[in-house]
Chain A
């Protein structure tokens, strides 16, 4: 089946540490991946995306790595801050007629940053 899943449902880190959140996807045809951050009571907020023709993309304090061989995606957050505490979702998008548009989300990882 087609699914996006996460290895770790919760992650606790100390402020200043680096955080790594992992995601496995099963659809090898997926060509666009996005990481979203969702704070309590709010909608998902775009963090960073990557297309399948890349294996790494960097933003401000965040890096996304894509390993198509093992269908694995990760989000690295440098110098994690208490404001980074939230639920993080990976999502995939794959081409194919009218399906190209909908996102398939993973379960989510709860990141807790301790001061």
Chain B
């Protein structure tokens, strides 16, 4: 029973490029959450999605960031025109329902040069 999968594990981008982070939830889970973690800090909520719907995007920056969870395929977190401040670890979690235990993936570590 595979857990939450994220890829790539490490991503290097130059300023101005686009970053695409992918997350496949655990089997049977239809709720996906994205969090960002800066070095030596806790995780900060970004966005909560269900299939084809954004439920809560209160933690998403207003510009350059977008997320989707299509009917088929993984959830995608997209960062356009990356800047150095976007360098962080991005974690995806999934749950079977709202308010249930969230299982985390291994994260994608984004480095912006």
Contacts and interface: CB of A to CB of B under 8 A. Distances in A.
- Does B bind A? yes
Interface of A: 4, 32, 34, 36, 42-46, 49, 89, 91, 93, 95, 98-108
Interface stretch (B14-22, B52-60, B68-76): B52-60
A34 B101 contact: yes
Contacts of B43: 44, 89, 91, 103, 105
Contact of A43 (B42, B58, B107): B107
> Ordered nearest first, which 10 A-B pairs have the shortest CB separation?
A105-B42, A43-B104, A102-B45, A98-B56, A105-B43, A44-B104, A101-B48, A101-B98, A43-B106, A43-B107
A102 B48 contact: yes
Given A42-B106, A43-B104, A101-B33, A108 B55 contact: no
B44 interface: yes
Given A43-B107, A102-B48, A95 B99 contact: yes
Chain A contact surface mostly: strand
Interface residues of B, number: 27
A104 B35 CA distance: 10
A103 B102 contact: yes
A70 B46 CA distance: 28
25 contacts: A34-B101, A43-B107, A44-B43, A44-B91, A44-B104, A45-B104, A89-B42, A93-B99, A98-B48, A98-B55, A99-B58, A100-B98, A101-B31, A101-B95, A101-B99, A102-B33, A102-B45, A102-B48, A103-B35, A103-B45, A103-B93, A105-B42, A105-B43, A105-B44, A108-B41
